[in-house]
Structure 1
Amino acid sequence: MRGRIRQLGVAGVVAVLACGCAPQHVEKNTTTRSGAVPAHAGEPHYGAAVPPLGSPSLSPAVTGKTVLVVGDSWSASIGHGMSEVGASHNTIVNAGLGGCGILLPVGNETPEECRKWPTQWPSYLEKYKPDATLLTVGFWDVTPQRLAGDKEPRDLTAPAHEQAFRNRLNQAISILTSRNTPLYLMTSQQVGNPKYRASALVMNRVLREAVARHPGVRLLDLRGQLCNDDGCPKVLVGTKVYDPTAHPTKPARARLANWALNAMFTKDGA
């Protein structure tokens, strides 16, 4: 599975793409629930309201900006959406890589390109000098992985793995904010998947704690855009959310891209 999704990510840096118009969609509350998933103690309460699925349009304030996108295939997908909705007036540097988290487990299960982020990201910052950076690692790092000393794969519910993720996240934050560039972290929507829910809850808690500790780091609550306390609907505002690979469809990624860019560069984040 990791190899298949790796092909969906962007294998390197993508420069400006010639597209500047966001698709428009009728706003209507049409949902298909994926199964009731009760709220978890300590998790923000999202209620039963239909999640918003991003923004229908891009703010005119998002002009002349450079955004660096790093992380996994969800980062790559949203970075692709950013290029589709805003690259005629902005520079989107999409370095998202499918199949790549930040935990760097031992063994051959981690592709060589996934191990290069500690050295590659500083070079991207130096070359492109972004106005903001986006990091999303909400899938691979919640899945069971075998870290040094493990006999069997474990997920973030194991204390040692939670600490390892926290350490790697701190390393990533140190790199990505080294030029005082605002860094945006996206929560994991995998809380809607019973198989990964417990691990994703740990990830989202660690992300929130990191944002609280670092003034230059901000949270983009992807989980809140796609899920409520009952689960993560497959259809939102009349839009099918997921494609057959479990990544955002073209209209869904456009709305998520609008939302992320507006949050980065407008005062109210609308």
Structure 2
Amino acid sequence: MLKLGPGRLGASISAAFGCLLAAVVLVGCTPASETPPTLSSGTSGPRIASSPSPIIPSASATSGEPPLGSAQLLGSAAAMTVLAVGDSHARALGVGMANVSPNRLNLIINDAMGGCGIMESTQYKLSFSDLTDTPSACGTWPDRWAEDVKKYHPQAVFLTTSNWDYNPQMIDNSGKLMTLADEPFRKKFDANMDRAINILSASGAKVFLENSVPNPLMSGVMAAVAARHPGNTVLLDLQSQFCNGQVCPPVIGGITVNDESGHPFGESQNRLGRWLLNQIANTLHAAS
């Protein structure tokens, strides 16, 4: 059983239902924060120092200080069209990729929406709020993402909803809040992820997933999702950029990892944006 400490994972629940960044133009929102529920996970992740980075370590992680992304953008990480979709963490990392792509070095289309996952739920419950109706806009992802692919023809798509879909949600008429530890929730999450990957890869784009929620249950589920789509997906080890196997420090190399809402910001956001673009570029060039 994993129990998280006093820190918080971010979840944007703005009245506008999130942020939209299209052609690297940002319409802002203010992310709120959440404390994730406790899920049955078999084994726990690393110790969270002070406030957590929403990351679990990989088996190959070392005991040294995590690298926190990349200081330099590879020369090959250019002239790419990358679509970012998912929750507020996808939004934040999409902003990081845009920040380090000045003068349209890369075109980053950010259609991630804070406060929205992939579960098409009717209600959700955050630790600091009452039961809340899920905004209807959250259920538009199949049509929106299909239109994004048709309009922009991305070479790569960065998809993550794990931070939001870690929350208890009402997904059917049972009247019960469920999490990934419940079989009906897990089945729907798997089915919707499969559907999303099929939509996002329809024009040949590679879909990049990540493993950032600090719970081995979610990490294992994301690994299984990627394994079901070996030709279309890549599972990025984003966790290793924050954690070293024992601890997820709130400050790495003098850089604060997350803001008060639990989202990467500032130089942390930019370093992670560079790292994502470098990983995407390496994958695309290896496949060409």
What TM bracket, shorter-length normalisation? Answer: 0.7 to 0.9
Which of the numbers 67, 73, 92 marks the counterpart of 2:82? Answer: 67
> 1:63 is aligned with what amino acid?
A
Q: CA separation of 1:2/1:186 partners in 2, compared to 1, >3 Å: closer, same or farther?
A: closer
Residue 139 (structure 1) aligns with: 163
How far off its partner does 1:253 sit?
0.6
User: Structure 2: which amino acid aligns with 1:52?
Assistant: P
| Aligned residue type for 1:243 | D
Do the aligned partners of 2:17 and 2:135 also contact (CA within 8 Å) in 1?
no
The answer as to 2:178 corresponding to 1:161 is no
Amino acid aligned to 2:164: W
**Contact residue 81 and residue 106 of structure 2 kept, 8 A:** yes
Residue 228 of structure 2: aligned partner: 213
Work out the CA distance in 1 between the residues paired with 2:15 and 2:50: 26
Q: 1:185 to 1:45 in 2, by over 3 A?
A: same
For these two proteins, the number of residue pairs brought into alignment is 241
Choose between structure 1 and 2: higher strand proportion: 2
Unaligned runs of 5+ in 2: 1-9, 27-47, 124-131
Q: Does 1:114 align with 2:112?
A: no
The alignment yields a C-alpha RMSD, in angstroms, of 2.6
Offset from partner CA, 1:7-51 (integer Å, 9 cap, x none): 6942x3421369xxxxxxxxxxxxx82489xxx9xx735353322
Q: 1:9 to 1:63 in 2, by over 3 A?
A: same
Shift of 1:150: 3.3
CA contact (8 A) 2:121 2:169 kept: yes
For residue 268 of structure 2, the aligned residue among 204, 229, 252 is 252
Q: Which range is displaced more, 1-10 or 89-98?
A: 1-10
1:80 aligns with 2:95: yes
Contact 1:16–1:90 (8 Å) recurs in 2: no
Per the TM alignment, residue 110 of structure 1 is displaced from its structure 2 partner at its CA by 1.4
Paired AA for residue 84 in structure 1:
N
Contact 1:70 1:96 in 2 (8 A): yes
Name the amino acid aligned to 1:16. V
Unaligned runs of 5+ in 1: 19-31, 192-196
Counterpart of 2:85, as a letter, is V
Query: Percent same amino acid at aligned positions?
Result: 32
Select the residue among 197, 217, 224 that pairs with 2:240. Answer: 224
| 1:148 pairs with 2:172 | yes
- For 2:279 and 2:101, the matched residues in 1 are separated by 14
Structure-1 separation of matches of 2:15 and 2:102: 24
**In the TM superposition, what are the counterparts of 1:1-270 in structure 2 within 5 Å?**
4=13, 9-10=18-19, 12-16=20-24, 33-34=49-50, 44=59, 46-88=61-103, 89-107=105-123, 109-188=133-212, 190-191=213-214, 197=215, 201-214=216-229, 215-266=231-282
Matched-pair contact (CA < 8 Å) for 2:87–2:115: yes
Pick closer, same or farther for the CA change 1:58–1:179 going to 2, 3 Å: same
Cα gap change, 1:105/1:57 in structure 2, threshold over 3 Å: closer, same or farther?
A: same
Structure 2 distance, partners of 1:87, 1:99, is: 28
Q: Could you tell me the TM-score, scaled by structure 1's length? A: 0.81
Aligned to 2:110, the other structure's residue is in SS state strand
Say if 1:14 and 1:92, in contact at 8 Å, map to a contact too: yes
Q: Any conservation in 1 of the 2:92–2:265 contact (CA below 8 Å)?
A: no
* Pair 2,84 (structure 1): closer, same or farther in 2 beyond 3 Å: closer
Q: 1:141 aligns to what SS in structure 2?
A: coil
Match of 1:29 in 2: none
Q: Is the 8 A contact 1:162 1:202 kept in 2?
A: no
Partner of 1:22: none
Task: Indicate conservation of the 8 Å contact 1:16/1:87, yes or no.
Answer: no
Q: Is the 8 A contact 1:185 1:207 kept in 2?
A: yes
Change (3 A) 1:267 1:178: closer
